[in-house]
Structure 1
Amino acid sequence: MSPVPTEDSSPSASPSSSSASLPGGTSSSNSDTRQFKVLNLDLQLGGASPSAPELLSSLEPGSLATLLDAQLAGVLSHLGRLGSRVADTSSKVLVTGDVNAGKSTFINALMRRAVVPSDQQPLTTAFCEVMDARMNGGVEEAHLCRPGETYNRLDSRTYTPVGLEHLEEVAADFEAEEGRVVKVYSEEADPGLLSNGAVDVALVDSPGLNTDSLKTLACFAFQEEIDVVVFVVNSENHFTQSGREFMVTAGREKAYIFVVVNKYDLIRRKDRCKEAILKQLSEVSPETREDAGDLVHFVSAEGARQSREAQGPDAPVAAEWARMERSLRGFILEKRARSKLGPAQRYLLQLLGDLRVLASTNRRRTERAERDAERTLSDAIPRCRSGEEEARRDTEGAEREMDAACDAIVTEVRTRLTLVMDTLEDRVVDPEWQGWVHTWSYIQEVRSGMVRAWDREVSTCERMASDRVQEGTRRILQLGKTRLAAYPPREPDLARLFEERRRGRKSTSSRKKGGSGAVPGAGEGSLAFGLEVTDLVDVRERLGLATVSVGGMAMIGGQLIGARRLLMDVVTFGGLLGGRLARQMLAVGVAATALGLGLYIIGDVKHAVQRRVAAKCRKVLLADGILDGHVDRISRRSHSALRYGVQDLTRRYELLLEEAQRERMEGERVAKEASEGRRYYKALGRRIRELEEMIRSVDTNEKKVPLPEPTDD
């Protein structure tokens, strides 16, 4: 996005508005180094007062808003007072200065009579407002305003009337309360400033600035209520620190301050005194210094009165005083646009200048925020899409890894267990044959050996499955390893994968030790069975083998000798021996044959036991589903462990996508707010320029106040 021009560089700004100097020497083209005039936050950064843009960039928006809220509340209140002052046809003149600068003496000299006490101490804590007696029905008196009451000349409950001749007597008691106001109605000895016949003028005698902090603050606040400030400087002390601060504060609104340097007749090196005061004035009120011919006067209030009485009005001291009176009268009455509208114009232009800096700075901030948000979105949206694609691909890959590992485990477990089932008699360590007496013990040892061989193979299958699961889990963890580095995986506890069967084996072994009679090594899905005699020696099998053997021999002999010849020999031999002897010999042959068969069966008992026990084992394994049960159990447990890895991979991708989605939504929100803010501040800057042009068009020197043309706004 291309940079949007700021207000100061906008083509719509006229050359005059971009280069015109604001009252106070502030140009609208140097807003990047401009300090706040009205919205002064009074902060120090690194020991120096920062420019407005530096101040704005150094503060968090929330902190800045809190500070500005308090300032704007005061601004709104003061704008209301400005409106009232501009609408009011009367003029208030504040006479202020340091203690003992001669303020009261100055007012009495203007009145040509002693109206306010001019001793060293009286009324130093009260504001004494002197007005023409005509405003009180021609009655000369003082009204001591009551605290907490809104003064109303027609309501005597809001004040205490005092005769002017008694004002100095009650002053000491009256000044005990801070901020009290005295309304003094008096006639001038000679027609002068108050009795001008055109404008109601009030002279306000204020407490000394450096009396204490409370009185100084009261003077600072009261100056906002008046139109013209007459600052009385003691020529012996020049501008004190309090005086400088007051001039700077008042100068935020009033570009021009009427300065009276009193007691000038007491100074011996007058040129040096004048040079020093004018230099100080250049620092605290440059506009006043530029118009020093009309606004700065070096006089002596008491000396003028004495000189006028002794030498007449043409005496040098009296003549300088008269020139000062003419300048003050012209400033208050003849140049009312300058004294009445000038402060309002200056204040508004300075306020608009502060607002222009705020608008310009915030506009640049919103432009940066909008660009940053767009960059975030340009990264977040593809990241969301690629993340979704990778999540789908890796999840499918993990499913394939899981299925492949489970299939391999099932195949190998079934192959292993089937092989051991078919070769049980070969896997037993042949116990020692201890004779016929211990035949049953031999049988039990053979059975236990086969059970242990089966359990060993089951454990081997479990270890093999655990290794396969571990390898499959490792492969699953490798999926999205780089993309999901910020989200650590939760690995399954494979050491406990087949713990339930092992616990079952230990429990069964304990029961065996307790005499329960269970088969050693039996547990979950373990091989356990009993044996009977018929399971060990199958006589029918032996007899069948013998019968088959004899029949086979007879068939072979018949083929070799011939059945006929054999029968003839048998008959001949029987005839020779006699019938009884033949029967006896036949019985002996049959007995011998039976004895041989018995010895054969008994002699093969060791191997027969192993074969029969193995056959019984195979029968139990197949009939009870033990083999299939182990295959299914190991498969399920392996599948569960691998499924945990797949689910954890899905969870991590969900976290990744949720974060990317949050970033995208946050970027969209910030971009929208920044765009709205940029448009708002752009329109605000444009409106500020329009108001500045309208306010500058008011010519306060020529008293011309053109009405603004109607606009679409």
Structure 2
Amino acid sequence: MSASFNNDTRAARRHSLAAESPTSIANGRSSLSGGRLTASYPPLVSSPESSEMGGLERSSVGVDQHAYAGKCNRLMKLLGGTSALLKGLRENNDRWLILYPHQTSPKIQRAQSFSEKGNDRYPLKRSNSFSAPHNGDSDFMDEDSRLVTSVDTLEFHTRLNVLKLEMKSHDHQSTEEIMESLEKSSIAELLNKRIDKSLKHLTSLHARIADKSSKVLVAGDLNAGKSTLVNALLRRQVLPVDQQPCTTMFCEVLDARENGGVEAIHAIKNIESYNREDPATFTEIQYSDLYETASEHGDIYKQLKIYCRDRRISEESLLHNGVVDIALVDCPGLNSDSLKTMAVFARQEEIDVIVFVVSAENHFTLSANQFLRNASNEKAYLFIIVNKFDEIKNKKKCEKIILDQIQQISPRTYEHSEHLVHFVSANSINLDNPYDQKIAEFEKMEEDLRNFVLKKRSKSKLAPAEHYLSNVLADITVLSEYNHGKAEEEYQNAISEFNEAKPLYDTLRMKRNQVIEEAEKIAEDTSANIHKYTKENLEKAINGVHKLPTKCEWSSILYVWQYVLEVKDEALGSIEQATRENEDFAKNMTAEGAEKIKLLADANQLSGEARQVNISKLFGRQPTEILIHIGPTDLFDIDFEFSDKLGEKLSDKLQMATLSGGALVVVASKYLGYKSALTTLWRFGNFVGFDNMKRLAIPILLLAGAGTTYYLFSDMQRVVTCKVRQKVRKHLMAEDYADGEGKRLARYGRKVMRKITNDLQIRFHDAVQEQEKRCKRLREALKETGEAKNYFGDVFKKSIEMSETLKFLKIDLEEREQLTVF
């Protein structure tokens, strides 16, 4: 219903009361009866014309209320759905840390970035994405085209609304700088707190919409005239008024019908437990004590509930309007006390309409700016009353300054400032005459306030929920799309990494046994080659001992035993030299085998460093010392076969001599190689005869002994050398020294190769285990990121659908209201 229609109704009502006597009007004052706030004025009876007009108005309101009720139900469903989305985000944050989009570089204006339109904040604005719905002004596109799958080229220079994290530090760092220094888990925890706060507020909004009554918060700075304004609206002196601040607690003024028609004042200590039917939950005070209680007992009571009657008819009254129950809540001044200021900030979230009273002399203070900006996050429209305007001389300048401030604080309010911003003087209202016609501006303000609270309840009561829902859903859309993009990016990275890891894992498993067998074969071949080479080389050295040129010096027969030892040591030295050569060969062969195994590891891309094996240390043990004992008998080899035959033919007298001579001859022939000569001598004896031989024996023996002695002394060095070397050779051959050394070196080589092969097995095992764990981790990552991608995709689509429903819900109601604001 337009303002002109109500002005006509008001005029008709004033005309019908013109005939009433001043006395009857004067009787309408407030009075104290029995200590209670009472009204002694007679019932007001409207004229037939005004009654008819009021009936038409109530009929129109009834139609609006039907639409309003339908919108309430749909809006409460959206509130419940939004709460479910936030709860899901909160619970999912324990499994998948929600990433918060924050700016990591200076803002760059480009097509794919965030943009601002006026003071409205748009979470995202780009050609291949969505524009989050904001106050019903955004166009919706297909969800799939907006749900991007890559965030590499996107710049989420976001300015979130409700879920925005605001952080400050002592060194004045920006929020983005603080974000970059925090862990993801810390940011997720901060976001959880914002979500919890939003959930609490959504619950409050749901309860507020379900509540059929409306609450109007009258807020403002100290001495702005809040209580005076409430009294003027009620046309009664209900709230205490003083030049000094006198309101230290919330004072809620309600229609007495809500208290069984009884006017009373209830002082409440615990608001949550308050029940007007239970006297134990409140203290009833007298009206005469109201001033003292409101100004002095703010530390005892949290709130006052004042039940009173509005002396005007329902068509003009705020409290008793016949449409909805209204409560006016007067609050302490914003800058009176920090705790009280915070209480006002918290309380505004429970309020349907905010009437902000600003002193025309002081304009908007810092606390007022902060309060209104905070309230603008939820409420698109604020009702602002500039009080004490009659005291200003340059009224146009004052209006311009205040309107400019309002434009910055609440653009929507500024757009409808004709109906939402009023410059009045509440103290000029004559409370003794409820129909004082002196102040037209105040009457217009009253009419606009009544129209805003009652007939535009979709704006006053539901618009805060719409506005808050729009912001929350836009934030959810930004968070879900951003996290969907991140999850998609990590999902693709996991797929790429898994496609790389799985074949490597399968290859390692398949090649492990094959490579180990190949490494073991290299080890066995190396050991066999060491054994073969060592044995052949030593056998060659042993067999070539007698051919070695000697460097030992022969002194005389007196030092023959010293010469024997020197020759023995010389022969053994040549064997030891061959042994050292064999060890060097074994080390080189082992090193080559180790390098081959290392190449096997490198060819299979095994991670980690190969175990370092000190080959020289493992081969450092000295070979077994060769112990050969050489006695005198090793230098002479006597054959007793000839002495037996000779003893049968010689006489007993010459037997010993003949034996000695024969032995000497035999020895000489044995060592000097003259067996053939001795045989010839024997035949010669048979030819001459033994009798003649007996006579010639002594001379012959002496001659033979002398010759033999001479020969032995002249060739003894060569004989001893050969005999000693022959002894060494026979001993080494008998001990199978070459094969033993070959086995020894082969055993050491096998030991080294076994260590290297075992290291290869360990590295292969570790590599297989590492790749197995990697594949398992990537499978889990694929599952986790896939679930996160699907989850955030679903949240994104649901938030878009709910935003679109909210948009059409708003458009539908605006069409019902014929797209008029006030």
| Residue in 2 that maps onto 1:218 | 343
Deviation (angstroms), 1:323:
1.5
Partner Cα separation in structure 1 for residue 213 and residue 638 of structure 2: 143
Map residues 514-663 of structure 1 onto 2, 5 A cutoff.
524-540=623-639, 542=667, 543-544=669-670, 545-552=673-680, 583-590=694-701, 592-593=703-704, 596-597=707-708, 599-601=710-712, 603-663=714-774
Partner residue of 1:678 out of 763, 784, 789: 789
The amino acid across from 1:410 in the alignment is H
CA distance in 2, matches of 1:24, 1:107: 34
Determine the structure 2 residue equivalent to 1:23.
135
Measured in 1, the distance between the counterparts of 2:752 and 2:270 equals 86
Preserved CA contact (<8 Å) 1:337 1:703: no
Matches within 5 A, 1:143-158: 143-147=266-270, 150-158=273-281
Residues 506-541 of structure 1 show CA distances to partners (whole Å, capped at 9, x for unaligned) of xxxxxxxxxxxxxxxxxx522102223221211327
Deviations 1:367-392 (A, max 9, x none): 22222222223333444456667777
How far, CA to CA, are the matches of 1:139 and 1:165 in structure 2? 17
Q: Could you tell me how far 1:396 is from its partner in structure 2?
A: 6.2
Aligned-pair distance for 1:693?
2.8
Residue identity opposite 2:678 in structure 1: V
> Which residue in the other structure is 1:205 paired with?
330
Aligned to 1:248: 373
Q: In the alignment, which residue of structure 2 is the partner of 1:69?
A: 192
Q: CA deviation at 1:330?
A: 1.9
Higher mean alpha-carbon deviation, 185-194 vs 364-373, is at 185-194
Q: Paired residue for 2:220? A: 97
Partner deviation per Cα, 1:435-454 (whole Å, 9 max, x = no partner) = 33333333233333333333
Q: Which of 487, 490, 512 does residue 366 from structure 1 map onto? A: 487
**1:49–1:263: structure 2 CA closer, same or farther, 3 Å change rule?**
farther
Structure 1 residue 67, shift from structure 2 partner: 1.8
Counterpart of 1:187 in structure 2 is 309
C-alpha distance in 2 between matches for 1:551 and 1:21: 134
Q: Which residue of 2 aligns with 1:334?
A: 455
CA distance in 1, matches of 2:243, 2:270: 25
Of residues 443, 461, 464 in structure 2, which corresponds to 1:343? 464
In structure 1, how many angstroms separate the alpha carbons of the residues matched to 2:738 and 2:675? 37
Whole-Å separation in 2 of the counterparts to 1:685 and 1:490: 54
Tell me how far 1:204 sits from its aligned partner. Answer: 0.7
Alpha-carbon distance in structure 2 between the residues aligned to 1:58 and 1:696: 38
Q: What is the match of residue 800 of structure 2? A: 689
* Superposed CA RMSD: 3.8
| Counterpart for residue 510 of structure 1 | none
Distance in 2 (CA, whole Å) between partners of 1:61 and 1:650 is 40
Structure-2 residue corresponding to 1:79:
202
Determine if contact 2:247/2:295 at 8 Å carries over to the other structure.
no
Q: How far apart in 1 are the matches of 2:308 and 2:814? A: 31
Answer with 611-620 or 198-207: which moved more.
Answer: 611-620
Amino acid paired to 1:165 = S
Which residue is equivalent to 1:575?
A: none
Structure 1 counterpart of 2:798, one-letter code: R
Partner of 1:12: none
- Ranges in structure 1 where 5+ consecutive residues have no aligned partner: 1-5, 9-14, 502-523, 559-565, 572-578, 706-713
Counterpart in the other structure of 1:504: none
Q: Deviations over 1:604-663 (max 9, x none)?
A: 433333222223222322333333221111111122223433443444455455444444
Q: Which runs of 5+ in 2 are unaligned?
A: 1-111, 115-126, 148-155, 640-665, 817-822
Inter-partner Cα distance in structure 2 for 1:481 and 1:582: 90
Paired residues of 1:24 and 1:286 also in contact (CA < 8 A)? no
The residue number in structure 1 matching 2:252 is 129
Contact 1:525 1:629 in 2 (8 A): no
Structure 1 residues 17-73: Cα deviation after superposition (integer angstroms, max 9, x where no partner):
9779632866768996652222121247997777xxx99999765333212211111
Find the residue that maps to 1:232 and give its secondary structure.
strand
What is the rounded CA distance, in whole Å, between the counterparts of 2:697 and 2:225 in structure 1? Answer: 171
2:556 matched to which residue of 1? 435
Given that 2:133 and 2:803 are in contact with CA atoms closer than 8 Å, whether structure 1 keeps it comes out as no
Query: In the aligned structure 2, how far is the partner of 1:242 from the partner of 1:89?
Result: 31
Q: 1:262 to 1:613 in 2, by over 3 A?
A: same
Q: What's the offset of the Cα at 1:209?
A: 1.4
Q: Is the 8 A contact 1:255 1:342 kept in 2?
A: yes
**Conservation of the 8 A alpha-carbon contact between 1:526 and 1:626:** no
Q: Give per-residue Cα distances to partners, 1:316-347, cap 9 Å, x unaligned.
A: xx221112112212222222233222222222
Say which SS state the counterpart of residue 194 (structure 1) adopts.
Answer: coil
Contact 1:406–1:638, Cα closer than 8 Å, also in 2: yes
CA distance in 2, matches of 1:254, 1:583: 157
Task: Name the amino acid aligned to 2:370.
Answer: E
Q: 1:160 to 1:121 in 2, by over 3 A?
A: farther
Question: Whole-Å Cα distance in 2 between the matches of residues 454 and 43 of structure 1?
Answer: 86
- Corresponding position: 1:277 with 2:399: no
Amino acid at match of 2:594: T
Greater displacement, 284-293 / 388-397: 388-397
Q: Provide the rounded CA distance (Å) in 1 between the counterparts of 2:527 and 2:748.
A: 10
State the distance in 1 between where 2:274 and 2:799 align.
Answer: 39
- 8 Å contact from structure 1 (residues 527, 626) kept in 2: no
Residue 237 of structure 1 corresponds to 362
Match runs of 1:310-459 below 5 Å: 313-315=436-438, 318-384=439-505, 398-399=519-520, 401-427=522-548, 429-459=550-580
**In 2 relative to 1, CA 582–247 (structure 1 residues): closer, same or farther, beyond 3 Å?**
closer
1:708 maps to what in 2?
none
Percent sequence identity over aligned pairs: 34
Asked if the contact 1:484–1:653 (Cα under 8 Å) also holds between the matched residues in 2, the reply is: no
Tell whether the 8 Å contact from 2:332 to 2:340 is kept in structure 1 after alignment.
yes
CA deviation after TM superposition for structure 1 residue 170, in Å: 3.1
Q: 1:460-494, CA deviations, whole angstroms, 9 ceiling, x for partnerless residues? A: 32223223333443454455558759633333112
TM-score of the pair, normalised by structure 1: 0.80
* 1:288 equivalent among 410, 413, 416: 413
Deviation at 1:295, TM superposition (A): 1.8
Q: Which amino acid aligns with 2:452?
A: F
